[in-house]
Every structure is written in structure tokens, then in C-alpha cells.
Amino acid sequence: MPFSDYRTALVTGASSGIGAAVVRRLCAEGLQVHALARSADALQALAVETGCIPHAIDVSDTAALTALCAATPFDVLVNNAGVDRPRKLLQSQAEDVDLLVDVNLRAVLHLCRLVVPGMVERDRGHVVNISSIAAAYNFGGNSIYHATKAAISMLSRQLRVDACGKRVRVTEICPGRVATDIFAHVHGDSAEIRERFLDGFELPQAEDIAAAIAFAIAAPVAVNIGHMEITPTLQVPGGLTTVRPGQSQA
């Protein structure tokens, strides 16, 4: 069981939702977990609860990430931090592009650059990248988010090529809709938003995603679980739109 082979973990976006659930699960598995997010207060509360080591750092702060990764050799890296600005590219602003690329992609590239060489040198490690079903399916006019998550999907595959020959495993987790507060962060916390995205739906919980990650990590070291798509039973991605010339698309 590789959990016994691993000592340290770094989880980004750790202050709430999936990230906090992953911190709780990895702490319960006996790892020393470094929890990274912008919210110092939420991280401190999580540290009191779990014993994790909090780091109030913005993932776009490459210098701070570099210093953290130089100080601690991480055996498990969970790239969970992510943001969204749900607009079509035709209506997007420059800051939308910069924010999503910085948080959803650039930070992940830097963390893998900083952490994976040590894993290769030690001949052990596990990278878990949280992407989305948006990496594989087009829907909703959310172009920048889809593009960044698709890049994470390809990065996850490419990391295995780069580390080939060493016992470094890479897992991409692709959630669909999960019952977390991400919708409040993106759309605003209101009864309308909760009704639109959460109320009345049967949805996976953040703890379910954490359990899937733990399953992948706990697999025998000879097993790499490369890709897990996790959606509600009552959610199916896909669709087809056909319009006449000049007809606007809703």
C-alpha cells in the first residue's frame, strides 16, 4: 500500500470544498499534509481540526511556491486550486484570460516543475491533477475554463512520459457537478444559485472525490490509475447544437 511509502503531501485550494476534504482524508491516512490556499483563517481552522500545516499562499505567487517546495520534498502533490469566469470567449475580458491561465494552468505547471523532479530522483511519488469533465466535453460557452482544463488533461498524460522508468504515478480526476461551494464563489451565494446548481440534485460530495483520490494513491505501486471521470449518476455530458445561418445561439 503506497500510503505507507509516502510521508508528505501538498494540497492546493485546500481551504474548502474538495481541497479541504482531500486534506482531511490524507491526514487520516497518516501523511504530513501541507495545505495551501489564500484564506488564512480557513486554513488555520483546518489545521486545528486535522493537524495539517497551513500555508496562506496564492498559487499565482511563483516565488512563494518555489520557496515552499525547496523546503519540503513532497511525495504526493494534489493540484486542486481552480477558478472560473463563466463567459463565452466572445464576451471575455483580458483579466479573465490572465486569471484562469495563472491559477488553473500556470500554477500547476510550476508546481509540477518544482515537485516532480524530486519524485523522480527518489523513485517514488504521486501527482493528482484535478481537471474537469470540461477538459473533454464542450458545453455552456465557458471557453477559457475548458481550454485550461484540457491543458491539465494533456499535462497529466505527458508527465507520465517525462517520468517514465521511475515509480512516479499521475492521476487525473475529472469531476462533473459536485456539491461544493464553488458555485457560490463563481456566481454569488444566493438562493437562486443554490436552487440552480444544488437543491434537489443527487450529487457527489467533496468527500467522494477525496475517497477516489485515496483509492488511486492506495493502489499497489505497480498500478497507475491514470484517469477517473466522476459525475452524478443523473448527469450525462454531451449534446449537439445546430443553428440556421444568422440564427443566434442561446
The catalytic residue positions are: 145
Residues in Cβ contact with 171 at an 8 Å cutoff, skipping those fewer than 6 apart: 126, 127, 128, 129, 156, 213, 216, 217, 224, 225, 226, 227, 228
DSSP readout, 118-132? Answer: HHHHHT-EEEEEE--
DSSP readout, 74-137? Answer: -SEEEE---------GGG--HHHHHHHIIIIIIHHHHHHHHHHHHHHHHT-EEEEEE--GGGT-
Q: How far is CA 197 from CA 79, 137, 178, 184, in A?
A: 24, 19, 9, 10
